């Protein structure tokens, strides 16, 4: 699969470089539009070249289609945590755990924004939290509390004994809402444009 | 589409895969903690044009006439996922056995998301 991806990337890079070169050649006036026209007319007149052109077009379409499927298929395959029960398998999408963690922002009022990223590997479940805090927050205390709440919530909801590693990245400390409001409030008596214009 | 078929003295009775999916969908939604049946982009489009949610449930019947059911679920926030998944598996098994008499091999649950109750 990897070799197909490399070939695909090389193929498309080649095509784009070729298109770029043609544009440069046309811009430098090395190739006249008339020459391109003559070439196209020649190819159109010859039945063999028309067949080759048609087949090339078909091949390019097929290659593009399968390459797109290969790339998109990779993105569509979602990562999950799985365990089996007596009746079958239960898989939990990591995005579902991310949804769960996002709801924690409501529980902790000092958090303005919370963006989780969950990875599951042999070590256990790794949760990367990117948070935006309000300015009054005590960061060490808050992050410790957030780690504990997140760990407890995941264990409680998933019921799994896996190791949970929670990494927090404080991305920004935003100004308190009151300051924001004060900034947004319009002046009490907004000036009328051209209010004094023309008066003596 | 493949059908589960059984023979009686008077003829054959065949149950369409959609019927199995429909029973499974209803049985899954009965469980407390299940918000809705999940799905992908395709099933989302089908739902948009008025098709039922059970299109997201995949039913496979193997050579031994055993049925595998894959159910994507969205769980309500605040519920224990393994517990809800287990209850869904049991309820779906019970409902399918009661209503269709098919041999059930696996009922696979895939939790796709969590939504507010």
Q: What is the ipTM of this complex?
A: 0.72
Q: Which two tokens stand for residue A134?
A: 């309000």
- pTM passes above 0.90: no
Average model confidence (pLDDT) across chain A? 80
Residue A99: band (very low, low, confident or very high) from pLDDT cuts 50, 70, 90: confident
Q: Which H/E stretch holds residue A15?
A: helix A2-27
CB B78 within 8 A of CB B114: no
Interface residue ranges in chain A relative to chain B, Cβ cutoff 8 Å:
76, 80, 83, 85, 87-93, 95-97, 99-100, 103, 156-160
Q: Is the pLDDT of residue A69 over 80?
A: no
For residue range B76-90, list pLDDT tens digits in order. 988 889 999 999 999
Q: Which H/E stretch holds residue B25?
A: helix B17-30
Per CB-CB distance under 8 Å, the chain B contacts of A157 are 79-81, 114
Taking the CA of residue A150 and the nearest CA in chain B, the distance in Å comes to 13
With CB atoms and an 8 Å threshold, state whether A159 touches B111: no
Average confidence (pLDDT) over A80-107: 85
Instruction: Give the three-class secondary structure for B53.
Output: helix
CB B69 within 8 A of CB B108: yes
For residue range A32-44, list pLDDT tens digits in order. 888 888 888 888 8
Q: Cα–Cα–Cα angle for A67, B70, B4, nearest 5°?
A: 110
Q: What parts of chain B have a pLDDT lower than 70?
A: 1-5, 50-53
Please give the backbone phi and psi of residue B26, each rounded to the nearest 5 degrees, phi first: -65, -40
B61-100 exposure pattern, b = at least 16 Cβ within 10 A, e = fewer? beeeeebebbbbbbbeeebebbebbbbbbbbbbebbeeeb
Residue B43 sits at the chain A interface (C-beta within 8 Å)? no
Single out the residue of B69, B43, B75, B68 nearest to residue B56, CA to CA: B43
Determine the pLDDT at residue A180: 55
Q: Which residues contact B23 (CB under 8 A, 6 or more apart)?
A: B92, B95, B96, B99, B100
Determine the pLDDT at residue A78: 61
CB B20 within 8 A of CB B107: no
* Long-range contacts (CB closer than 8 Å, 24 or more residues apart) made by A186-195: none
Radius of gyration of chain B (CA): 15
Q: Which two tokens stand for residue B86?
A: 């287990």
Determine the pLDDT at residue B28: 92
Determine the pLDDT at residue A123: 80
Taking the CA of residue A38 and the nearest CA in chain B, the distance in Å comes to 47
With CB atoms and an 8 Å threshold, state whether A93 touches B112: yes
Go through the domains of chain B in sequence order and give each one's CATH number.
Answer: 3-115 (3.30.70.1350)
With CB atoms and an 8 Å threshold, state whether A96 touches B113: yes
Which ranges of A46-194 does DSSP label H, i.e. alpha helix?
Answer: 47-76, 94-102, 104-107, 139-158, 177-184
Taking the CA of residue A144 and the nearest CA in chain B, the distance in Å comes to 22
Question: Residue written as tokens 């924001």?
Answer: A180
CATH 3.40.30.10 for domain A82-176 = no
Average confidence (pLDDT) over A106-131: 86
Q: How far apart are CA B104 and CA B94, in angstroms?
A: 10
Question: What is residue A56's DSSP assignment?
Answer: H
For residue range A157-189, list pLDDT tens digits in order. 887 777 889 999 988 888 765 555 555 566 555
Query: A68-72, A106-110, B1-5: lowest mean pLDDT where?
Result: B1-5
With CB atoms and an 8 Å threshold, state whether A96 touches B112: yes
C-alpha distance across the termini of chain A, in Å = 82
Residue A21: band (very low, low, confident or very high) from pLDDT cuts 50, 70, 90: very high
With CB atoms and an 8 Å threshold, state whether B113 touches A95: yes
Single out the residue of B83, B69, B76 nearest to residue B29, CA to CA: B76
Domain borders along chain A are 2-76, 82-176
Q: How far apart are CA B40 and CA A126, in angstroms?
A: 26
Q: Is the pLDDT of residue A29 over 80?
A: yes
């Amino acid at each position: 699969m990897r070799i197909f991806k490399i070939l695909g990337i090389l193929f498309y890079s080649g095509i784009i470089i070729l298109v770029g070169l043609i544009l440069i050649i046309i811009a430098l006036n090395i190739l006249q539009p008339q020459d391109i026209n003559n070439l196209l007319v020649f190819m159109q007149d010859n039945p063999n070249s028309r067949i080759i052109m048609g087949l090339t077009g078909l091949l390019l379409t097929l290659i593009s289609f399968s390459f797109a499927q290969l790339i998109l298929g990779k993105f569509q395959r979602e990562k999950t945590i799985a365990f089996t029960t007596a009746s079958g398998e239960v898989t939990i999408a990591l995005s579902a755990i991310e949804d769960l963690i996002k709801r924690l922002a409501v529980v902790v009022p000092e958090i303005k924004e919370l963006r989780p990223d969950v990875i599951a590997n042999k070590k256990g479940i790794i949760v990367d939290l990117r948070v935006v805090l309000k300015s009054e927050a005590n960061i060490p205390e808050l992050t410790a509390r957030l780690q504990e709440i997140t760990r407890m919530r995941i264990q409680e909801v998933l019921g799994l004994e896996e190791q949970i590693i929670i990494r927090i990245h404080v991305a920004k400390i935003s100004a308190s809402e009151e300051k924001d409001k004060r900034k947004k409030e319009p002046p009490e008596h907004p000036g009328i444009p051209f209010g004094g214009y023309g008066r003596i | 589409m493949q059908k589960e078929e059984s023979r009686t003295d008077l003829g054959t009775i065949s149950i369409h895969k959609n019927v199995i999916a429909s029973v499974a969908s209803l049985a899954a939604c009965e469980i407390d903690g299940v918000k809705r049946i999940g799905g992908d982009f395709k099933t989302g489009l089908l739902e948009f044009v008025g098709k039922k949610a059970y299109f997201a449930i995949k039913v496979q019947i193997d050579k031994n006439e055993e049925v595998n059911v894959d159910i994507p679920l969205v769980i309500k926030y605040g519920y224990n996922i393994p517990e809800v998944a287990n209850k869904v598996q049991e309820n779906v098994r019970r409902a399918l056995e009661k209503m269709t008499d098919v041999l059930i091999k696996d009922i696979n649950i895939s939790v796709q998301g969590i939504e507010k109750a």
